[in-house]
Amino acid sequence: MSEFVLDYNERGEVREYGFGTKLMFLYFLNVCDWFCTQVLIDTGRFHEANPIMGWIMEYPILGFFVKCVLPLALSIFIWLFYKIFKLEQNRFTNFVIYSGVVVYTAVIVVHIINFIVLYTG
């Protein structure tokens, strides 16, 4: 029987992931989105749904910069801002991060469906 295992802190409470970990997971999903989008566009059978990103993705180096380098810099900046000013995670920041995770997860599911269509059709 499979068991769901939680991580506990010193006081026996369920451990919450840190702000930086959540930001990096969101960034990871962003990079997965960029990679899948680029691969699908390169097949010639798919296009970017967002017209502005469609133009940017026509230039792979520019697409990489806009979708990978800038978000990484922004994530590091936000994380440092929180650390320097000793800000705490709150419901709003968790809502924003978790909303991003949900949206990117949905986008990646669409990419997976597109890959299935591409390789089975």
Q: Render pLDDT for 45-60 as a digit per residue (tens, 0 to 9).
A: 999 999 999 999 999 9
Q: Which residue has the higher pLDDT, 4 or 78?
A: 78
pLDDT of residue 15: 66
Rounded to an integer, what distance in angstroms lies between the CA atom of residue 54 and that of residue 56? 5
Is the pLDDT at 121 greater than 60, yes or no?
Answer: yes
pTM of the model as a whole: 0.85
Domain boundaries, the chain: 19-120
